[in-house]
Amino acid sequence: MQGETSVPKSDSPSLSIVMEDRKATRANPAKASAEKLNFWYGSNHALKNINLTIPEHQVSALIGPSGCGKSTFLRCFNRMHDLQPDTKYEGAITLRPDNVNLVGPETDPIEVRMRIGMVFQKPNPFPKSVFENVAYGLRLRGINGRTELAERVESALRGAAIWDEVKDRLNDSALALSGGQMQRVCIARALATEPEILLFDEPTSALDPIATAKIEELITELRQTVTVLIVTHNMQQAARVSDFTAFMYLGELVEVDATSKIFTNPAKKATEDYITGRYG
Amino acid sequence: MAATAHMTLEELRQGLAWRKQLDKVFIVIGLALLFGCLAILAILFFDLVRDGSARFGWDFFTSFPSRKAENAGILSAAVGTMLIMVVTSLVALPVGVAAAIYLEEYAPKNWFTGIIEINVTNLAGVPSIVYGLLALGLFVYQFHLGQSILTAGLTLALLILPIIIVATRESLRAVPKAIREAAYGLGATRWEVTKDHVLPYSTGGILTGLILGLSRAIGETAPIITIGALSFIAFLPPSPVTGQFPFLNFEWLMSGFTAMPIQMFNWVSRPDQAFQANAAAAGAILLGMTLAMNAVAIWIRYRFRKKINW
């Protein structure tokens, strides 16, 4: 994140309101960085030479038109592509401070997924109780003590701002919750194992505006405990929740900068065309 | 006034009325065919019940076969059928589910697994007597398992294995990708995803497949005649449960046996009219057992659908 602050130009009133309490303008130390990352689905070269630094304890957003590779890029961070046959990574995503290459063939994808959490596009709770949903990641790590599980489940649910709504129905099926509640349970499930980076893949695209607002508020708060990388289709959402925004197009990273800069004074013509709605 | 560019509103309504008539015609044809099929089943069932009505009674269930029609019962046949079904389930369920899990979750998609998949489906269409011949050669002559309940159970297990594999694969496949991804995303291994999620969420479909398989197996006659079921058995196999430690006893596995369809076949082939009533009564009971099993399958499916609704 080499971008220096620029004062938001006020010719864009809706965005300047959004950004009045704009937080980060200067990048924290890097939590992860993609270096010359390339990715192929079979012979389809989906990501081309991506270089991007994800600053620690900040929210980075990936925006771009459908099919530009933003979800593909996100899914490299927890090796989700390894579940499909015939995919290939090249280059590196280096996780700091221990400098593990997340996409390196020597790195176990399961180990990566234990360190990097993910929240998906559609709420996907397991058809189990709320408690068991959140406890599952802990159980995988061999944590089975009742009190420890209960404590950590509670703190994850609090962290996902859903504790008050579900504390009396921890043993009810998570499928009985509303869409927005399910998604926050999924966030709690990912938070419970204290991931180093939390990935969000268009987390509100299946939710109504009120549930969306809650999730967005939550994401801005999560920054204090975890590094966030979010893919979003909705530019206003990127403007509202993120500190840094990267614009991707046709599998390439076009531009990355402080969110306030990207949305007011983008350096590249393509970025400007996209955020002003000329395509995408 | 023209409703569209080409038609008046009047013409449009006439055309629509005609098309709705066609819709109704189809409903009538469909209902007629449906009730026709159901009626045949119902007539068959009530005919059996009527013919066998004289024989229904406690004695019929608690008597061994006899040379006298009025003394003959289905005790040994019913017990034999139940024990065979136990063996069949215990063998076919784990093998079938394991095969399905491997094919669905683990096997790489290549020409070899493609051939296996096609052949599993084909196996469901192999005539049952062929399984009987296979079992005679393999279990009876090769493994020396004898003309026993074990052999019969294994044979019928082979017969319903494809049904269970296909049903299991379908219900594994019905588990959404999003659920698997959620579990993988938390760092689960493939086996953990399978045992903690995919398999439990497919239980309804798997049990339904098992029961549908068993309700096919319960009526199979040809393969167990081929392996040498006896048709006149006036004893029960040794009890599987005993009063002494270890409370289980496996001698019954090697016991000779008869089964419901065999008993029916035996009675039907006798010249004495009185035995026809026995056959009808046994048939009604066998049909009742099959319908009851199907009802259980429907109930299980309903229960799981209600609990897990993707």
Contact assessment for residue A112 and residue A102, using Cβ atoms and an 8 Å cutoff:
yes
Provide the β-strand partners of residue A50: A37
Predicted pLDDT at B220: 87
Contact of A136 with chain B, judged by CB distance below 8 Å, is answered with yes
- For the segment A250-280, what is each residue's pLDDT rounded down to a tens digit? 999 999 999 999 999 899 998 999 988 876 5
Contact assessment for residue A107 and residue B288, using Cβ atoms and an 8 Å cutoff:
no
ipTM for this model:
0.87
Q: Who's near A190: CB < 8 A, 6+ residues apart?
A: A117, A118, A119, A137, A198, B185, B186
> Does position A225 have pLDDT exceeding 60, yes or no?
yes
Contact assessment for residue B289 and residue B218, using Cβ atoms and an 8 Å cutoff:
yes
Distance in angstroms (rounded) separating the CA atoms of residues B262 and B225: 7
Q: How confident is the model at residue A7 (pLDDT cuts 50, 70, 90)?
A: very low
Q: Per the CB < 8 Å rule, is A83 touching B188? A: no
Q: How confident is the model at residue B243 (pLDDT cuts 50, 70, 90)?
A: low
- Provide the percentage of residues in chain A whose pLDDT is more than 90: 76
Contact of A140 with chain B, judged by CB distance below 8 Å, is answered with yes
Contact assessment for residue A203 and residue A230, using Cβ atoms and an 8 Å cutoff:
yes
Q: Per the CB < 8 Å rule, is A118 touching B197? A: no
Q: Who's near B61: CB < 8 A, 6+ residues apart?
A: B73, B74, B75, B78
Predicted pLDDT at B70: 76
Distance in angstroms (rounded) separating the CA atoms of residues B30 and B282: 33
Q: Per the CB < 8 Å rule, is B187 touching A193? A: yes
Which residue did the predictor score with more confidence, B282 or B235? B282
Q: Per the CB < 8 Å rule, is B184 touching A80? A: yes
Mutation pick from A77, A79, A83 vs chain B, by most beta carbons of B within 10 Å, is A83
> Does position B96 have pLDDT exceeding 50, yes or no?
yes
Mutation pick from A84, A121, A126 vs chain B, by most beta carbons of B within 10 Å, is A126
Domains and their CATH numbers in chain A: 29-125+195-275 (3.40.50.300)
One-letter amino acid of A133 = N
Q: For chain B, what is the mean pLDDT?
A: 86
**CA of A188 vs chain B CAs: smallest distance (Å):** 12
Q: Per the CB < 8 Å rule, is A126 touching B185? A: no
CA of B179: which chain A residue's CA is closest? A124
- For the segment A145-160, what is each residue's pLDDT rounded down to a tens digit? 999 999 999 999 999 9
What is the reported pTM? Answer: 0.81
CA of A81: which chain B residue's CA is closest? B181
Phi, psi (rounded to 5 degrees) for A150: -60, -45
Tokens of B242: 């005993």
Q: Per the CB < 8 Å rule, is B176 touching A124? A: yes
Distance in angstroms (rounded) separating the CA atoms of residues A266 and A273: 10
CB-CB neighbors (< 8 A) of A127 in chain B: 179, 201, 307-308
Give the end-to-end CA distance of chain A in Å, rounded to a whole number.
25
Q: Per the CB < 8 Å rule, is A85 touching B108? A: yes
> Does position A12 have pLDDT exceeding 70, yes or no?
no
> Does position A209 have pLDDT exceeding 50, yes or no?
yes
Predicted pLDDT at A279: 66
Q: Who's near B106: CB < 8 A, 6+ residues apart?
A: B190
Which residue did the predictor score with more confidence, B7 or A96? A96
Q: Per the CB < 8 Å rule, is A117 touching B307? A: no
Distances (CA, A) of A195 to A54, A137, A225, B22: 15, 11, 9, 61
CA of A128: which chain B residue's CA is closest? B308
Mutation pick from A129, A136, A182 vs chain B, by most beta carbons of B within 10 Å, is A136
Contact of A194 with chain B, judged by CB distance below 8 Å, is answered with no
Q: How confident is the model at residue A130 (pLDDT cuts 50, 70, 90)?
A: very high
Tokens of B310: 């993707």
Q: For chain A, what is the mean pLDDT?
A: 88
DSSP A277: T
Please give, one letter per residue, the 3-state secondary structure of B102-140: HHHHHCCCCHHHHHHHHHHHHHCCCCHHHHHHHHHHHHH
Q: Per the CB < 8 Å rule, is B181 touching A173? A: no
CB-CB neighbors (< 8 A) of B197 in chain A: 126
Q: How confident is the model at residue A229 (pLDDT cuts 50, 70, 90)?
A: very high
Distance in angstroms (rounded) separating the CA atoms of residues B80 and B142: 23
Which residue did the predictor score with more confidence, B86 or B57? B86
pLDDT average, residue stretch B226-234: 74
CB-CB neighbors (< 8 A) of A126 in chain B: 179, 182-183, 197
Phi, psi (rounded to 5 degrees) for A45: -80, 95
CB-CB neighbors (< 8 A) of B109 in chain A: 85
Of A2-11, A177-186, B287-296, the one with minimum mean pLDDT is A2-11
Contact assessment for residue A223 and residue A58, using Cβ atoms and an 8 Å cutoff:
yes
DSSP-assigned states of every residue in A192-222: TT--SEEEEESTTTTS-HHHHHHHHHHHHHH
Distance in angstroms (rounded) separating the CA atoms of residues B1 and B92: 70
> Does position B170 have pLDDT exceeding 80, yes or no?
yes
- Provide the percentage of residues in chain B whose pLDDT is more than 70: 94
Q: Per the CB < 8 Å rule, is A136 touching B180? A: no
Contact assessment for residue B163 and residue B209, using Cβ atoms and an 8 Å cutoff:
yes
Which residue did the predictor score with more confidence, B307 or A25? B307
Q: Per the CB < 8 Å rule, is B184 touching A117? A: no
Going across the sheet that includes A100-101, the strands are A44-55, A30-41, A87-95, A100-101
Q: Per the CB < 8 Å rule, is B186 touching A193? A: yes
Position of tokens 């049903």?
B167
Provide the β-strand partners of residue A33: A53, A94
DSSP-assigned states of every residue in chain B: -BSSSS-BHHHHHHHHHHHHHHHHHHHHHHHHHHHHHHHHHHHHHHHHHHHHGGG-SHHHHH----SSGGG---HHHHHHHHHHHHHHHHHHHHHHHHHHHIIIIIS--SHHHHHHHHHHHHHTTS-HHHHHHHHIIIIIIIS---SSHHHHHHHHHHHHHHHHHHHHHHHHHTS-HHHHHHHHHTT--HHHHIIIIIHHHHHHHHHHHHHHHHHHHTT--HHHHHTT--S---SPPPPSB-SSTT-B--GGGGS----HHHHHHHHHTSS-HHHHHHHHHHHHHHHHHHHHHHHHHHHHHHHHHHH---
Region label for B144, one of left (φ > 0), alpha (ψ between -120 and 50) or beta (otherwise): left
Judging by beta carbons within 10 Å of its beta carbon (0-12, 13-18, 19+), is residue B287 exposed, middle or buried? middle
Q: Who's near A171: CB < 8 A, 6+ residues apart?
A: A129, A130, A131
Which residue did the predictor score with more confidence, A60 or A30? A60
One-letter amino acid of B273 = Q
pLDDT average, residue stretch A34-48: 93
CB-CB neighbors (< 8 A) of B186 in chain A: 113-114, 117, 136-137, 140, 189-190, 193
pLDDT average, residue stretch B12-26: 93
Q: Per the CB < 8 Å rule, is B179 touching A124? A: yes
Smallest Cβ–Cβ distance between B197 and the set A113, A126, A137 belongs to: A126
Q: Per the CB < 8 Å rule, is B188 touching A140? A: yes
CB-CB neighbors (< 8 A) of A113 in chain B: 184-187
Distance in angstroms (rounded) separating the CA atoms of residues B188 and B192: 6
Predicted pLDDT at B74: 83
Predicted pLDDT at B230: 72
Predicted pLDDT at A125: 95
Mutation pick from A140, A187, A229 vs chain B, by most beta carbons of B within 10 Å, is A140
Distance in angstroms (rounded) separating the CA atoms of residues B201 and B62: 41
CA of B308: which chain A residue's CA is closest? A127
